[in-house]
Structure 1
Amino acid sequence: MDKKILILTDCDGTLLSDDYNFSEFTIETTREIYEKGHLLIPITARTLKNLKNISNQLNLEELNGIIAANNGAQIYDFKNKKFILNSVLNKQIIQNVFNMYYKPKSDQKEDKVNFTSENYVYSFGHSENTLKWSSIMEQENCVISSPDEIKEEITSISIITKKGTTIQEFETKLKKINELFGSDYKIDAYHNRVISIAPKNIDKGYAAKLIIEYLKPKEYITYGFGDSYNDISLFNSVDNPIAMLNGIDELKEISKDTTKFDNTQDGVCRYLKDNKII
């Protein structure tokens, strides 16, 4: 029997259109993928709550699919109604980061910190970008002045360096975070402005390996689709890493191929169809 296809795909900038919806073509193709015995699994930085909701567009619960949220910290199996992985940060790292960055009101612009949970983004103050994304993720932005005000388990911490931070300054800050916390937590950097702290080992690549192991003894030919830095680990964990046309150059350099169409043009599903993968 021919091996089946396992498609692990990012959402924003990849499978989703820029209006944060899946196109009708993507919805129809996803159903076709499952009907042929293959799997399509979204693996994204979005929260589990939000990913469950947008996955309703793809009918993944009905199709007995799997989803991976928070860059793989939460992996959920709809068929068996259980977590494959559910990893959160402990209170010590939350306290440590809070103490490092929290300052009473100041005229001087400082680095921002977001503590992300399922329903909230806890931060030191409102910002336009935080409000935008918390709204998209169906979260409430909660301003705090003490870590004791955090009432939900935290899945990730983002340190957003202030505008005007040079690459050298950013790398110095990243080095400091790695020295302090890198032995016990997963530290990543995005866009030379954001430092992410997640539970140890957590990234899309680790999630991909767990999913592949979970699906045994069935074997799959694996494809990974993505557009940004947090997809690099995913690309290192699949047989066929495919960069989006609109993806970053660093991703294209390690990919086997690049889609001919971007995320607004059904790039993932058109690639799968045009190349007769499904």
Structure 2
Amino acid sequence: MMDKYLIVTDLDGTLLNSKHNISDFNIQQINQFRKYNGQFTIATGRTNKSVEPYIKKLNIRLPIITYNGGQIYCPVKKQVLYHRTLPITEELCEYLKAAVTFSEVVFIAEEQIYTINRGDVCRDFERKENLTTIEVNWNELPKQVTKIMLMSKARKDLENFSTTLTDKFKTLTLVFSQMEYLEILPVATSKGEALKELINLCQLTDAYTIGFGDNFNDIPLLTASDLGIAVSNAEPQLKKVADHTSQYTNDQDAVGHYIQGLLK
């Protein structure tokens, strides 16, 4: 019986293939795992709205972790159970204005996406997540957001800016969720911290947690899990902290293959 197991997986680059779909094999193995009373949910950087199609396809009943740990959302009650917010201060905006020279700056609040300078990377983000951004001026931004994203193909510029912000602001968490995305979150916000909250909310303190991921933002998820698994296509830094690295990539159904082995 699987009733003592809780599987928590990242979506993009992990459970989803390169076309951002969930394979039939992954769905079959997840359903089989739950048939034997296993608990399953997701932990993603996406918004609640963006993950709705995957919630339906997987029939997820447990609360999910979204916004890279900024929220815990109950898909059954359609209710936010846990929410971390980030104040948009004048000082932070002054630094972000400098980032406009090399990146597209995006703010997410109340499931709405705002941008200062919508470009090609942001348009790709919109297509991938089936969302639409609203272009605004700096004085039109909400006072509190769930997260900020800097989107750019200039990775080195993003890395340098991350170092600058980390040195200046001690109340921020900065993490790369994809090669082109640098995310700014409230301090102590991560998938790992949210997993601890979820376990308490759902009274799953006795569960053996298995976390799956592929990128830097999954490091806290894997370290907070009893068993952290990196997919084969994961970033080298994630593989270093993982307890196990799958021989399979996200396009080869790494999550499904692990579950299949667990059920044998």
Query: Same fold by TM-score, threshold 0.5 exceeded?
Result: yes
2:145 aligns to what SS in structure 1?
coil
> What is the distance in 2 between the residues matched to 1:164 and 1:179?
19
> What is the distance in 2 between the residues matched to 1:69 and 1:256?
24
Task: Determine the structure 1 residue equivalent to 2:188.
Answer: 201
Question: Deviations for 1:168-197, whole angstroms, at most 9, x for unmatched residues?
Answer: x944x3333123322x23233467875422
Once the two structures are TM-superposed, the CA of residue 153 in structure 1 deviates from its matched residue by 5.4
Deviates further, 249-258 or 191-200: 191-200
Task: Determine the structure 2 residue equivalent to 1:26.
Answer: 26
Task: Determine the structure 2 residue equivalent to 1:138.
Answer: 130
Contact 1:170 1:193 in 2 (8 A): no
Task: Determine the structure 1 residue equivalent to 2:55.
Answer: 55
Task: Determine the structure 1 residue equivalent to 2:162.
Answer: 174
> What is the distance in 2 between the residues matched to 1:194 and 1:17?
19
Task: Determine the structure 2 residue equivalent to 1:77.
Answer: 74
Once the two structures are TM-superposed, the CA of residue 220 in structure 1 deviates from its matched residue by 0.8
Does residue 185 in structure 1 map to residue 172 in structure 2? yes
> What is the distance in 1 between the residues matched to 2:42 and 2:168?
32
Deviates further, 134-143 or 185-194: 185-194
**1:100-179 → structure 2 map (5 Å cutoff):** 100-102=95-97, 109-148=101-140, 150=141, 154-160=145-151, 163=154, 165=156, 170-171=159-160, 173-179=161-167
Once the two structures are TM-superposed, the CA of residue 79 in structure 1 deviates from its matched residue by 4.7
TM-score normalised per structure 2: 0.87
CA RMSD between the two structures: 2.8
**1:234-273 → structure 2 map (5 Å cutoff):** 234-273=221-260
Once the two structures are TM-superposed, the CA of residue 20 in structure 1 deviates from its matched residue by 1.2
Task: Determine the structure 1 residue equivalent to 2:263.
Answer: 276
Gap change, CA 1:119 and 1:134, over 3 Å in 2:
farther
Once the two structures are TM-superposed, the CA of residue 145 in structure 1 deviates from its matched residue by 2.2
Gap change, CA 1:98 and 1:165, over 3 Å in 2:
same
Gap change, CA 1:236 and 1:121, over 3 Å in 2:
same
> What is the distance in 1 between the residues matched to 2:260 and 2:19?
23
Gap change, CA 1:2 and 1:112, over 3 Å in 2:
closer
Contact 2:40 2:62 in 1 (8 A): yes
Once the two structures are TM-superposed, the CA of residue 54 in structure 1 deviates from its matched residue by 2.2
Does residue 12 in structure 1 map to residue 12 in structure 2? yes
The amino acid that maps onto 1:174 is: S
Does residue 66 in structure 1 map to residue 53 in structure 2? no
Unmatched 5+ residue regions in structure 1? Answer: none
2:8 aligns to what SS in structure 1?
strand
Contact 2:150 2:183 in 1 (8 A): yes
Instruction: State percent identity of aligned pairs.
Output: 25
Question: Deviations for 1:84-121, whole angstroms, at most 9, x for unmatched residues?
Answer: 312222243xx433333337x9xxx4343221235443
Unmatched 5+ residue regions in structure 2? Answer: none
2:224 aligns to what SS in structure 1?
coil
Contact 1:170 1:192 in 2 (8 A): no
Contact 2:69 2:190 in 1 (8 A): yes
Task: Determine the structure 2 residue equivalent to 1:89.
Answer: 86
Name which of 202, 210, 222 aligns with 1:215: 202
Question: Deviations for 1:33-69, whole angstroms, at most 9, x for unmatched residues?
Answer: 2222211111000111111232111111xxx222111
TM-score normalised per structure 1: 0.83
Once the two structures are TM-superposed, the CA of residue 70 in structure 1 deviates from its matched residue by 0.5
**1:34-53 → structure 2 map (5 Å cutoff):** 34-53=34-53
2:124 aligns to what SS in structure 1?
helix
